[in-house]
Amino acid sequence: MRKGRQSGALVRLAPVVVLGLAVLALAVIFFVAPIEAQMGLPQKIFYLHLPCALSAFIGFLICFLASIRYLVSRDLRHDRVAESAAEVGVVFTTLVLVTGSIWAHSAWGKWWTWDVRLVTTAVLWCIYLGYLVLRANVDDRDRRARAAAVLGIVGFADVPLVYMSIRWWRTQHPGPMFLGGEGSGLGDPRMKVALAFSTVAVLAVFAWLLYQRVRVARLRAEQEP
């Protein structure tokens, strides 16, 4: 009983912690990280853009792994995790596309260009949006879970393409932040601090949303005949 009360208290405290991390990250981004010399203030959107991309990748990885576990075990709990992770992943991919477009307009003077990184990211968004549409249009629970699991596994193949696109092809997109060779990464240590804070905050938001979405999925499953 005591353990249950402690768990409930942690769940109620989580939004406060997540909000605190978000406020702290914004403070570091705007008051600690310097204004980048070439792009100016719009460069600060990068501190949201990259963590959102990381969160989307994690969401689709969870969907991929949970889909495999469902096909092996036929346990619908794994299907609920896969569905929830895909939905949250789509939310963060949408944020990636929106923030990327804002950055592109400032850097390149246009909202969209047919760059391989942008195209593969848009394809990834379409794949998992299609995954959600598929789930919404198949009534039989087991058939829906099987079909979605297959798409969740196959669709994940685009994730490494998105990640490696700027290494394999010549693109307008900025080069890799990490392990990109000479000249890659952030030069100013204060920018690295801002990126670290924003990454922790965005991942905390991701984890909280995923937890809530799995909880909703479980409650829905309990109401199904």
Residue 74 sits in which domain range? 13-33+42-223
Tell me, yes or no, whether 106 lies in a domain: yes
CA distance 135 to 129: 10
Is 137 contained in some domain? yes
- At residue 181, the pLDDT reads 47
Chunked mean pLDDT (size 10), the chain, 225 residues: 58 88 94 83 89 97 98 96 98 96 85 89 97 95 95 97 84 61 66 94 97 93 77
> Does residue 79 lie in a domain region?
yes
Residue 194 lies in a domain: yes
- Whether 73 is in a domain gets the answer yes
Instruction: Pull the structure tokens for residue 129.
Output: 């949006």
What's the confidence (pLDDT) of residue 107? 78
Q: Determine, yes or no, domain membership for 1.
A: no
- Number of independent structural domains in the chain: 1
Residue 173 is given by DSSP the state S
pLDDT tens-digit readout, 145-190: 999 999 999 999 999 999 988 888 777 676 666 544 444 567 778 9
The pLDDT assigned to 5 comes to 59
Q: Residue 122: what pLDDT?
A: 96
> Tell me, what's the pLDDT at 63?
98
On whether the CB atoms of residues 60 and 41 are closer than 8 A, the answer is no
Q: Please report whether residue 86 resides in a domain.
A: yes
- Would residue 6 count as lying in a domain? no
